[in-house]
């Protein structure tokens, strides 16, 4: 067998047994001269059917277009093509054809190797569509997107980021160090942030940037580090929101709060001084009273002074409270109890019991409760234990709440409300107690002897 015969036999073996689809095509009329078994499997025709077909039977281009492409392949102007071929079942497949002219006996044929790239093209199309959607999302986002590399150089910025910084196009930012877009005094803070990105820290922080024209804007940055597959730091990405307007409102609010605090301090001092002046004037008048000026042994100016002090206490608590609409009644009532007990002229020591839950009350209700406590505790201290003969005297103040009501209880184990004591207390104090209960919409219950216990219950204030 000659060398030519050996070469021909070798070619035939490769042609027949290769897994790639192979065709021998006559370039003049497009007749398929030979088709290998891979072509039979791919197209779904028998070998004899394929070898009686023309390229135009499988290629969806027009005959003129097919002829022009074959001529380019024959003259080697082009060797790689992408076509759409129709299979025997009617399905269309995208194929990549590598076609080379080879001399065969007295003719030159096109040796075409065909690869099915349908899935690859579909994947590429899906990738392109995904990239297009991603690009659209990034460019239409109302937040700035800023990516820097490991050298703190800008590698990407979207339209919104450029707009925030006063640039016409994102390309103007590319290649510039991130520090070019911030005031010099922010650089130390920025470098510390980059250090945390290198350590893998994700965080949100406020940051001052500088526009192209030199003006500044406050931003909120949600920053994340970018690491490669080997764990090497490759940069960071930030989602950037312009919060300049929010900062302006915060500054105005802070200024307003400072003005309010200053006004409250001034108001507090004036009201406190006014209360103190009234208390001092009443104390001066008390000293001028003769025993005949008292009513049932009670000094009316002292009682008035103590009531004013009760009102001054609630003002003091309001001033120190964060919530100006309500106060903790337990703290307020403890102060009243402590002051009244400290000022009382007692014949014997009295055991004190205080069980007060933390109950927040609106100012009007708290003041009414304070005045109620003042009247009832004052009466108990004056009348419940008239002499040293009392055994284990006890005075208690309870405050609690349930789902619907607040309950205030003031009691003692003294001599009880005798007719004589009722006459003395009724002069003004108990009238005031009844009026305050009406103001609260409260139910007033009195029990005893032994002793006297006042129970006042009113509806739980609504929480807005």
**Listing from the earlier edge strand, what are the strands of the sheet with 144-149?**
154-157, 144-149, 233-242, 216-227, 203-210
Decide: helix, strand or coil at residue 362. strand
The answer to whether residues 30 and 20 touch, using CB atoms and an 8 Å cutoff, is: no
Q: How would you class 51 by CB atoms within 10 Å of its CB: exposed for 0-12, middle for 13-18, buried for 19 or more?
A: middle
Contact yes or no for 81/97 (Cβ under 8 A): yes
CATH architecture of 251-459: 2-Layer Sandwich (3.30)
For residues 163 and 154, give the distance between their C-alpha atoms in angstroms, rounded to a whole number: 15
- Residue 403 sits at φ, ψ, to 5 deg, of -65, -25
Task: Please report the pLDDT score of residue 11 as a whole number.
Answer: 62
Pick the closest to residue 88 from 42, 36, 35, 31 (CA basis).
42
User: What are the average pLDDT values for consecutive 10-residue runs of the chain, which has 464 residues?
Assistant: 55 77 92 93 94 95 94 94 95 94 85 93 83 71 87 92 92 94 92 92 93 94 92 92 89 80 65 61 60 54 66 64 73 85 78 92 85 86 75 90 92 74 54 86 86 91 57
Domain ranges of the chain: 3-121, 141-242, 251-459
Q: How far apart are CA 430 and CA 165, in angstroms?
A: 73
Strand ranges of the sheet holding 394-401, from the earlier edge strand across to the other edge: 351-356, 394-401, 405-412, 452-459, 443-447
**Options 3.65.10.10, 3.30.450.20, 3.40.1110.10, 2.40.50.140; CATH of 141-242:** 3.30.450.20
Residue 364: what pLDDT? 82
Q: Do domains 3-121 and 141-242 have the same CATH topology?
A: yes
- Give the per-residue pLDDT at 312: 67
CATH number of 3-121: 3.30.450.20
CA–CA dist 245, 222 (Å, integer): 18
Starting from the edge strand earliest in sequence, which strands make up the sheet with 80-86, in order?
A: 32-35, 21-25, 107-116, 92-104, 80-86
What pLDDT is attached to residue 464? 43
CB-CB contact of 235 with 226 (8 Å): yes
SS3 360: strand
């Amino acid at each position: 067998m000659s060398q030519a015969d050996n070469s021909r036999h070798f070619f035939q073996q490769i042609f027949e047994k290769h897994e790639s689809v192979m065709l021998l095509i006559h370039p003049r009329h497009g007749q398929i001269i030979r088709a290998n078994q891979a072509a039979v499997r791919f197209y779904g025709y028998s070998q004899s059917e394929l070898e009686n077909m023309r390229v135009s039977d499988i290629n969806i281009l027009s005959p003129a277009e097919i002829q022009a492409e074959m001529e380019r392949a024959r003259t080697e102007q082009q060797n790689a093509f992408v076509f759409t071929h129709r299979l025997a079942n009617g399905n269309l497949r995208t194929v990549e054809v590598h076609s080379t002219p080879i001399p065969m006996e007295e003719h030159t044929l096109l040796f075409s190797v065909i690869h099915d790239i349908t899935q690859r093209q579909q994947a590429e199309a899906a990738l392109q569509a995904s990239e297009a959607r991603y690009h659209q999302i990034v460019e239409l986002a109302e937040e700035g997107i800023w990516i820097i590399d490991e050298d703190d150089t800008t590698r990407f910025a979207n339209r919104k980021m450029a707009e925030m910084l006063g640039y016409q196009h994102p390309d103007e930012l590319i290649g510039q160090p991130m520090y070019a877009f911030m005031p010099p005094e922010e650089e130390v803070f920025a470098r510390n942030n980059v250090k945390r990105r290198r350590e893998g820290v994700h965080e949100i922080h406020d940051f001052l940037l500088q526009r192209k024209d030199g003006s500044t804007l406050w931003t909120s940055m949600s920053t994340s580090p970018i690491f490669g597959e080997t764990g090497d730091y490759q940069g960071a990405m930030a989602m950037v929101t312009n919060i300049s307007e929010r900062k302006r409102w915060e500054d105005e609010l802070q200024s307003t709060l400072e003005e309010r605090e200053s006004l409250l301090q001034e108001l507090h001092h004036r009201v406190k001084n006014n209360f103190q002046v009234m208390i001092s004037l009443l104390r001066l008048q008390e000293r001028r009273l003769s025993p005949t000026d008292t009513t049932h042994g009670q000094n009316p100016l002292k009682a008035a002074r103590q009531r004013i002090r009760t009102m001054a206490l609630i003002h003091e608590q309001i001033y120190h409270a964060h919530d100006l609409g309500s106060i903790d009644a337990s703290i307020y009532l403890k102060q009243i109890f402590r002051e009244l007990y400290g000022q009382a002229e007692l014949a014997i020591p009295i055991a004190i019991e205080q069980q007060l839950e933390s109950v927040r009350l609106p100012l009007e209700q708290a003041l009414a409760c304070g005045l109620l406590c003042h009247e009832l505790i004052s009466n108990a201290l004056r009348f419940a234990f008239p002499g040293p003969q009392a055994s284990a005297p006890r005075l208690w103040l309870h405050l609690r709440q349930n789902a619907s009501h607040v309950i205030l209880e003031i009691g003692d184990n003294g001599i009880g409300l005798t007719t004589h004591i009722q006459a003395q207390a009724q002069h003004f104090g108990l009238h005031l107690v009844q009026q305050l209960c009406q103001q609260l919409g409260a139910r007033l219950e009195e029990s005893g002897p032994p002793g006297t216990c006042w129970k006042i219950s009113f509806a739980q204030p609504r929480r807005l």
